[in-house]
A and B are shown apart, each in its own frame.
Chain A
Amino acid sequence: MASDMAQPGFWAKVQRASVERLHIRLESLLVLVALSAVMAVLSPYFLSLSNFLNILLATSTIGVLAIAATFVIGSGGLDLSLGSVMGLAGVAGAFVAVNLGWPSVFAVSACIIAGGLAGYINGQLVTRAFVPAFIVTLGMLGLARGLALVISQGRAIYGLPPEIVYIGQGRPFGIPMPVILLVLTAVVAHCLLAYTRFGRHTLALGDSEGAARAAGIRVEHHRRIIYTLSGALAGLAGLLFTARVNAGDPTAGINYELTAITAAIIGGTNLFGGRASILGTMIGALIMGVLQNGLTLLAVQSYYQQMAIGAVLILAVFIDQYQVRKESRV
């Protein structure tokens, strides 16, 4: 209990308050600021309003997926199918709008429902068939991607109605619609995770399934809801992406789960569950967005960006585990 004996310093107090009150780790905010500063020095284009909106726009899809990853990982689970389900949902929406010619509201619903259904199947398999989440969602990664290619016959579906394109390209008050939708989703998700019984039970479940069960929480039921929610959010991400690029692309979202999970972990989500915050995840998503945007502005080839994301993921988990080990030694 070394930390008890020493008077906590000002910095320690601020850190604790930020974790307890705002549910974010200050380190991630510092990384974001430092990274932005470096990019601003290296590229004259970085610090501008239009580039700022660009970063937010590029972050919107990943941000929604990262919210999904935060719930699942916070509950002690894992969803590797996020990117594929996103692609499937986008194709499903485009198919309903273009091939079936149904009204846009059905197309929007089709995205969310297709995603939610995939997530529901994940949840059923994890809780009833006792297949580990890693395997179930890895299988769904293949299944959803394949189904997206089957539905679209391997080609992007073009010709979306203007209402849907507005969701991706509209700019009320100059702010891109996907950014507005991301912020709304994040606010609702933050309240859900931090201030409701559902959120508390989610983290307790990730912390100790035995304790949650003993406390009378319906563990399997709760897990199924979380996987369904994760799928539905991937569906929303698919809608945002499809609307933005104005096409139902069956290859959309490949490797996005990697970036989304990285954003959640950078944001302070414990890889093994029990600790998570949406605010933190949003900071994590912004870090990924700034990193990708900055590397693009510096004309770094996208192959290297892929490597950077992978390296950041491993580094983030390493730092997190290092801190956990340090804390458990006191």
Chain B
Amino acid sequence: MTLLTLQGIRKSFGAVDVLHGVDLSVEAGEVIGLVGDNGAGKSTLMKTITGIYRADTGSIELGGKDILPLDPGQRRQLGIEMIYQDLSLAKQQDVAANIFLGREPTKKLFGFLPGFVDKAEMDRQAAKMIERLGAHLPSINRSVGSFSGGQQQTVAIARALTFNPRLVIMDEPTAALAVREVQSVLDLIRRLKSEGIAVILISHRLNDVLAVTDRIVVLRHGRAEANLVTAKTNMNEVVGRIVGGGDTSAAAAHEQRG
């Protein structure tokens, strides 16, 4: 079943055209690798999916429903989550505040004053989620700015997974991680897939992309240059499509070693 369909997405910032009509479709439970050079438009494309940017033209449908007019909050409610490369955490706030930011559970104070945040419930669910991810944090009542990079990423991941997402977009989730942490992120992606959750993985680490994805979409100069089935492609072809022809064996060999 097709979960997400993008057609003819165009986006420009002033005089700079970043996306020139991109088509993309994602099945439920499918893991897609999105690769391309710096400036190819990967992050911009993803932000048009989450609603941070509004596409100039084109259509975006989630489960057959047109989501183009919806704002980021509404798209999150429909199950589109993104883990940003900069993690987008509010660093002076604690773990639960970050996980539930924008979606805080509320209760009535004294039984009649509505709109009060249910902090106990937030803490309980946040602790549960962190435990499910098998992570260890010093305390969930500490501001996340006092955590290490890996711990902060755990919070960002927990935020994306707490509200039963249908699609999780990960922007360079392994770029800043140690080897063991990279493996746990790749395991997580496989687990999401087994639960029927679609994943779009943006990464420069082609080994990771080849290891975990079903399909690889190559963006080049704002166009979907290639749409490759991972099982039927190899490092050489992917690198070739990213840089666009020429002799790529040296670059590919370098990637293979890395």
- Chain A bound to chain B: yes
Which A residues have a C-beta under 8 Å from some C-beta of B? Answer: 1, 4, 20, 191, 195-198, 200-201, 203-204, 207-208, 210-218, 270, 274-275, 327-328, 330
Asked whether B50 lies within 8 Å of A214 as measured between CB atoms, the reply is yes
Checking B89, B93, B102, B138 against A216 with a beta-carbon cut-off of 8 angstroms, the contacting residue is B102
Which B residues have a C-beta under 8 Å from some C-beta of A? Answer: 50, 52, 71-77, 82, 84, 86, 88-93, 97-98, 101-104, 106, 109, 115-117, 119, 138, 141, 145-146, 148
CA distance A200 to B117 in the complex (A): 9
Residues of B within 8 A of A217 (CB): 73, 101-102
Asked whether B74 lies within 8 Å of A212 as measured between CB atoms, the reply is no
Residues of B within 8 A of A200 (CB): 93, 97, 101, 104, 117
Q: How far is the CB of B254 from chain A (nearest CB, A)?
A: 34
Residues of B within 8 A of A215 (CB): 72-73, 76, 88, 101-103
Asked whether B146 lies within 8 Å of A327 as measured between CB atoms, the reply is yes
Dominant SS at the A interface?
Answer: helix
Residues of A within 8 A of B91 (CB): 207-208, 274
Which residue of A is nearest B141, CB measured?
A20
Q: List, sorted by A's number, 27 A–B pairs whose CB atoms are closer than 8 Å.
A: A191-B116, A195-B119, A196-B115, A196-B117, A197-B106, A197-B117, A200-B97, A200-B104, A203-B93, A210-B86, A210-B88, A211-B101, A213-B52, A213-B72, A214-B52, A214-B72, A215-B101, A215-B102, A216-B72, A216-B73, A216-B75, A217-B73, A274-B91, A274-B93, A275-B92, A327-B146, A328-B145
With A191-B109, A201-B102, A215-B72 already in contact, 9 other A-B pairs whose C-beta atoms are closer than 8 Å:
A4-B138, A195-B109, A195-B116, A203-B92, A210-B84, A212-B101, A212-B102, A214-B88, A275-B92
Q: A204-B97, A210-B86, A211-B90 are in contact. Are A197 and B115 (CB under 8 A)?
A: yes
CA distance A184 to B209 in the complex (A): 58
Q: A197-B104, A216-B76, A217-B73 are in contact. Are A208 and B146 (CB under 8 A)?
A: no
Asked whether A208 lies within 8 Å of B138 as measured between CB atoms, the reply is no
Checking B90, B104, B138, B146 against A212 with a beta-carbon cut-off of 8 angstroms, the contacting residue is B90
Q: How far is the CB of B165 from chain A (nearest CB, A)?
A: 13
CA distance A275 to B146 in the complex (A): 15
Residues of A within 8 A of B77 (CB): 216
Residues of A within 8 A of B73 (CB): 215-218
